[in-house]
């Protein structure tokens, strides 16, 4: 299956490829890179609304741009949470004033966002959040803790799911608040060190942090509906770009297997072919569901497919390396952080793929309840 690109789409591909070739640099600061993208209108191409300094592209050209971005080895994005999660949510649920205030800054790459959803004891079970927000005149005072907050150390703002109705439980009494992160003494960010030695995730503590009452998205008490709408935006053309990155990783594993002679092992060959075939299936599934609305199980199926696939690729990468894969690229010293090569980072980081973004168990529960109509799993009272 292919997407059916026209001659005009291929002309656009050349334009996108040329721009990325002229501007993408691996040594550029990530915030500087966001502003570079924004100045050329490349942020917000899939919003469906213009007027914020962004280009508006049809679905086919969004795919083209995402594919060329992945192929160009451009820097990792720091602004994708604001662009792909918050912005579509504001377009769907935000007031005209909220859209006018926040969308131009996201499109320009000037303001970076993080997502304040998961909490200790309320990760995949999002309805169990305990973070509270109390109205104080024109402000809310937010107190509580969020965890696994990606890029919080660099974010200017956080969209926070908090309980604004005292005594409310589960899905009731929740609101989505937009909270500025620059509040010393009221917001503390603590990096979480991962197996890879890096800290992409964080704990965030709110101690009376202020959020403007005008910055409640969708109105007070409607946070659950807004939050579920936001999670629906996590799938889209970005999954196709992700798969191009996966294909490049698989190519490196195949080359390593050939160089080391591991490819002569029929079991290794079978695993390599299986990884390739499953990646093609993921692409076909993504193309099949792209742009479709109302398919409650599609995001969960996609997450189950890529999470398990990427984890198995990490395991295969280490199998191809053999015993040497357990040795770091440099001699370890107690006084400095340990170093990993690319395959070791792939293996260790991919252990989290079946947990973050909703664990495999949660995805299967969603499919069982919302697609197959099986009886709902009993939930404890919070």
For the chain, count helices (H), then strands (E): 12, 8
Alpha-carbon gap, residue 255 to 204, rounded angstroms: 41
Question: pLDDT above 90 covers what percent of the chain?
Answer: 47
Sort strands 157-163 and 113-116 into parallel, antiparallel or unpaired: parallel
Query: 334 pLDDT band (50/70/90 cuts)?
Result: low
pLDDT digits (tens, 9 = 90+) for 264-279: 999 999 999 999 999 9
Q: 238-260 vs 342-349: helix axis angle to the nearest 10?
A: 130
pLDDT digits (tens, 9 = 90+) for 65-89: 888 888 888 888 889 899 988 999 9
Alpha-carbon gap, residue 101 to 109, rounded angstroms: 14
Nearest Cα neighbor of 222 from 274, 270, 162, 268 is 162
339 is annotated as an active-site residue: no
pLDDT digits (tens, 9 = 90+) for 127-147: 678 899 999 999 999 999 998
Alpha-carbon gap, residue 122 to 143, rounded angstroms: 15
pLDDT at 291: 61
Nearest Cα neighbor of 224 from 374, 89, 121 is 89
Lowest mean pLDDT among 119-123, 195-199, 343-347: 119-123
Please check the confidence at residue 32 and state whether its pLDDT lies above 50. Answer: yes
pLDDT digits (tens, 9 = 90+) for 193-234: 888 878 878 899 999 999 999 999 988 888 888 887 776 665
Query: 43 pLDDT band (50/70/90 cuts)?
Result: very high
pLDDT at 228: 77
Between the CA atoms of 30, 32, 34 and 39, what dihedral angle is there, to the nearest 10 degrees? -160
Nearest Cα neighbor of 330 from 340, 320, 321 is 340
> Where are the extended beta strands (E) located within the chain?
113-116, 132-136, 139-146, 157-163, 174-180, 187-192, 201-212, 216-217
Lowest mean pLDDT among 114-123, 320-329, 332-341, 365-374: 332-341
pLDDT at 237: 59
pTM: 0.82
The neighbour count for residue 150, using CB atoms within 10 Å, is 17
Nearest Cα neighbor of 308 from 267, 359, 343 is 359
Please check the confidence at residue 236 and state whether its pLDDT lies above 60. Answer: no
Catalytic residue among 49, 234, 315, 339: 234
Q: CA 177 → CA 35, 57, 73, 88, 219, distances in Å? A: 25, 29, 35, 15, 9
pLDDT at 292: 62
Average pLDDT, the chain: 86
Interval 298-312 mean pLDDT: 89
- Return the top range by mean pLDDT from 148-152, 208-212, 293-297: 208-212
List phi, psi (to 5°) of 245. Answer: -60, -40
Nearest Cα neighbor of 92 from 289, 227, 235, 236 is 227
Please check the confidence at residue 27 and state whether its pLDDT lies above 70. Answer: yes
**Is there a contact between 215 and 177 (Cβ–Cβ < 8 Å)?**
yes
């Amino acid at each position: 299956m292919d997407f059916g690109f026209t001659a005009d789409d291929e002309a656009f591909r050349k334009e996108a490829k040329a721009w990325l070739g002229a501007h993408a640099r691996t040594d550029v600061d990530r915030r500087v890179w966001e502003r570079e993208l924004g100045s050329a209108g490349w942020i917000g191409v899939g919003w469906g609304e213009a007027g914020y300094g962004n280009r508006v592209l049809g679905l086919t050209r969004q795919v083209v741009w995402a594919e060329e971005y992945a192929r160009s080895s451009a820097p990792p994005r720091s602004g994708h949470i604001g662009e792909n999660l918050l912005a579509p949510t504001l377009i769907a649920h935000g007031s005209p004033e909220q859209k006018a205030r926040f969308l131009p800054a996201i499109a320009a790459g000037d303001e970076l966002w993080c997502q304040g959803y998961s909490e200790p004891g309320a990760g995949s079970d999002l309805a169990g959040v305990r973070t509270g927000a109390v109205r104080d005149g024109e402000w809310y005072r937010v107190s509580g803790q969020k965890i696994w907050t990606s890029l919080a150390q660099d974010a200017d703002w956080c969209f926070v799911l908090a309980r604004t109705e005292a005594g409310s439980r589960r899905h009731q009494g929740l609101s989505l608040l937009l909270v500025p992160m620059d509040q010393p003494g009221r917001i503390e960010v603590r990096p979480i060190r991962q197996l890879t030695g890096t800290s992409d995730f964080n704990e965030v503590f709110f101690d009376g942090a202020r959020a403007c009452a005008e910055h409640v998205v969708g109105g007070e008490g409607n946070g659950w509906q807004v939050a579920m709408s936001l999670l629906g935006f996590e799938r889209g053309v970005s999954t196709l770009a992700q798969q191009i990155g996966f294909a490049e990783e698989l190519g490196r594993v195949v080359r390593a297997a050939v160089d080391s002679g591991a490819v002569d092992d029929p079991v290794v060959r079978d695993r390599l072919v299986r990884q390739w075939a499953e990646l093609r299936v993921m692409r076909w599934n993504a193309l099949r569901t792209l742009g479709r609305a109302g398919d409650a199980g599609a995001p969960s199926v996609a997450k189950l497919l890529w999470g398990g696939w990427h984890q198995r690729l990490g395991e295969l990468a280490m199998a191809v390396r053999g015993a040497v894969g357990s040795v770091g690229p440099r001699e370890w010293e107690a006084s400095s952080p340990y170093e990993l090569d690319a395959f070791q980072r792939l293996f260790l980081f991919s252990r989290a793929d079946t947990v973050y973004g909703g664990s495999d168990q949660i995805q299967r529960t969603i499919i069982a309840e919302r697609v197959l109509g099986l009886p709902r799993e009993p939930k404890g009272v919070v």
